[in-house]
Structure 1
Amino acid sequence: MATLYISPESSPLAHAAAAAVLYLHIGAGSVGIMSGAAAFVFRKGTPLHRLIGKIFVISMLIMSGIGAVVAPFLPTPERASVIAGILTFYLVLSSWMAVKRKPGELGKFDHGLLLTSLSITGAGAYFFWLAMQSPRGMLDGQPGAAFLMFVIIGSLAAVGDLRLIIQRGVTGATRLARHLWRMTVALFIAANSLFLGQPQVFPKAVQKSGWLNVPALLILALLLYWLGHVAYGAFKRRRMHRPNQLHAG
């Protein structure tokens, strides 16, 4: 997020509030990235993993909420930051709800999630279209591909939300995968916002080395690994139960 501009004529209280919002956004984002990374390390389902997960959820909701609300009021409004903030907030909240709810449970809140994912997809498509109308193919300094990413992620999320509603909830590997990919993509967005979106905070040697691309690539690799692990586990369980079902029949 760019520096929040406050007029020099504004009161000291306004300047202090702007600084507090900025530092809270940065601090929450930093905690979110560190706790998200730690969640991959500690064994799933343990008390420590659950505690770290709660820290991740709270910090990411604060970070993304501030980003989405403040971005329209920057000296140069950043529509990409607005969508990124809303998308991250939505992904973290829906990921947390996937494991917070009992397996196979559905609530009115889940219908709101579908409306949110569809809105994100529609907004991303509209801003992508606006970017393509520009001679440079950009909008608010962001390339059209940035908005296309929101369309892709929003569409995948909407399909998952629709499936959850049709099936009246999700269970087993589907429930775990829903939690996993949403949490990881939210972490991916936060990491990109820091390492690629704010490269100026790092030494110039690091900026030129290419190391700032590593966190995003590592997060994507972890996502693919864990989704494959979940799918393989579900496949093994089906194979183990199949002989018993045939025998019982």
Structure 2
Amino acid sequence: MTNILISIHIVFGSLALLTGAMVLFLKKGNALHKRIGKLYFIAGFLGTIISLIIASSPNHYNLFLFTIGILTLYFLLSGFFAFKINAKQLKVLALTMIVTAVVMILYAFYQFSQGSITSGIILIFFGLLGAANSYLVDYRIFIKQGRKLTTKNRISLHIGKMIGSYIAMSTAFVVVNNIFYFRILNWILPAIIGSFLIRHYIRANGKRKKQGAV
């Protein structure tokens, strides 16, 4: 059964990586972008759900894949529904991620006590990443400061979260398959490239809005 799930996961994961790359370089906002983006979300969501099942199974237990899967789901859901979600729903999603992150960090200390240093570091890294993003972006800006979810803010939220989900999936892929000779690159390169793209597309969107207002 697990082998079947792995095969299905590979199909959905490959489709998500392919369509995600396409969306990054397609013209934003048109019908093709929306169709491919929806396909990316579906493939990414299903692939991630299956990966969580596999990573928590006794014979294929993988703490790294499980934690990055949780992070991927958070980014996917908040990014895909950025144009429909309201402040209350965003708050629930953000608080859920924060609570999950706290549990991950607490479990990390248990792993340390058991001598599992690597597992503990992985839990703390992704726990802090999820908590920081959900608190600093979702909770602090849109909820605590009361900033309205305007179209511009929703677009920025969509860009950041969807590319964030692609960063998470890409990181999982390159780490598991050890793509780069220098292992540190497997961990940081997707985040570096993805962060640059987030900044680029958010700035580009801001420029288009300003030009449209002139």
Q: Same fold (TM over 0.5)?
A: yes
Deviation at 1:235, TM superposition (A): 7.1
Superposition RMSD in Å = 3.2
Query: Who is 2:11 aligned against?
Result: 27
SS at match of 1:197: helix
Q: Is the contact made by 1:80 and 1:147 (CA closer than 8 Å) also made in structure 2? A: no
- Which residue identity lines up with residue 115 of structure 1 in the other structure? L
Matches of 1:230 and 1:212, distance apart in 2: 27
The higher radius of gyration belongs to 1
TM norm structure 1 = 0.71
SS at match of 2:176: coil
SS at match of 1:124: helix
Match of 1:184 among 145, 163, 174: 163
Deviation at 1:125, TM superposition (A): 1.4
Identity, % of aligned pairs? Answer: 17
Q: Cα deviations across residues 212-232 of structure 1 (Å, max 9, x unaligned)? A: 947962563243244244246
Q: Cα deviations across residues 56-107 of structure 1 (Å, max 9, x unaligned)? A: 10001011111123322232633333222222112101100103x1xxx616
Q: Is the contact made by 1:90 and 1:116 (CA closer than 8 Å) also made in structure 2? A: no
- Which residue identity lines up with residue 26 of structure 2 in the other structure? F
Query: Who is 1:223 aligned against?
Result: 195
Where do 5+ consecutive residues of structure 2 fail to align?
Answer: none
1:1-249 matches, cutoff 5 A: 17-75=1-59, 77-99=61-83, 101=84, 106=86, 109-135=89-115, 137-139=117-119, 144-145=121-122, 147-162=124-139, 163-166=141-144, 167=146, 169-199=148-178, 208=181, 210=182, 213=185, 217=189, 220-231=192-203, 234=206
Deviation at 1:27, TM superposition (A): 0.9
Matches of 2:115 and 2:183, distance apart in 1: 32
Matches of 1:222 and 1:153, distance apart in 2: 16
Q: Is the contact made by 2:79 and 2:161 (CA closer than 8 Å) also made in structure 1? A: yes
Q: Is the contact made by 1:68 and 1:84 (CA closer than 8 Å) also made in structure 2? A: no
- Which residue identity lines up with residue 94 of structure 1 in the other structure? S
Q: Is the contact made by 1:106 and 1:165 (CA closer than 8 Å) also made in structure 2? A: no
Matches of 1:160 and 1:178, distance apart in 2: 8
Q: Is the contact made by 2:78 and 2:158 (CA closer than 8 Å) also made in structure 1? A: yes
Q: Is the contact made by 2:105 and 2:123 (CA closer than 8 Å) also made in structure 1? A: no
- Which residue identity lines up with residue 224 of structure 1 in the other structure? F
Where do 5+ consecutive residues of structure 1 fail to align?
Answer: 1-16, 200-205, 245-249
Matches of 2:197 and 2:173, distance apart in 1: 23
